[in-house]
Amino acid sequence: MGAAVACLPKAGGRLGKDVIMRIGGLGPWELMIIVGLVLLVFGPKRLPDLGKNLAEGIKNFKRGMKSVQEVESVVKKELKDI
């Protein structure tokens, strides 16, 4: 419950500094450590390829989910006709 409360705006309607500084539950130091580790593991030359491959994977996943939903709707429609 504490995490949900931390995401609520303060009485003045503005978000607190602690909420703005945390992205996905990670603070700025944690994010810098993760970025540093990624740079060490993959190197600066491979990062663009890594980003490109990640984006392709997300696109393919979305495309696959869309086709699964289309097949599901066709099957439901055919089952209603029976």
The pLDDT of residue 15 = 53
> How far apart, in whole angstroms, are the C-alpha atoms of residue 22 and residue 37?
19
Does residue 50 sit in the same domain as residue 38?
no
Tell me: do 25 and 56 sit in the same domain: no
Whether 17 and 27 map to the same domain: the answer is yes
Total domains in the chain come to 2
Q: Does residue 60 share a domain with residue 39?
A: no
**Residue 12, SS3 per DSSP:** coil
pTM value is 0.50
Task: Please tell me whether residues 52 and 69 are part of one structural domain.
Answer: yes
Region 7-22: mean pLDDT is: 53
Range of the domain at 39: 1-44
Residue 58: pLDDT band with limits 50, 70, 90: very high
- Residue 59 structure tokens: 């696109």
Q: What is the pLDDT of residues 15-47, one digit of tens each?
A: 555 555 555 777 888 888 988 998 899 888 998
What is residue 81's predicted lDDT score, i.e. its pLDDT?
80
What are the strands, taking DSSP E only, across the chain? none
Residue 26 has phi, psi (to 5 degrees) of: -110, 135
pLDDT band at 2 (very low <50, low <70, confident <90, very high): very low
Do residues 31 and 51 both lie within one domain?
no
For residues 35 and 25, membership in a common domain is answered with yes
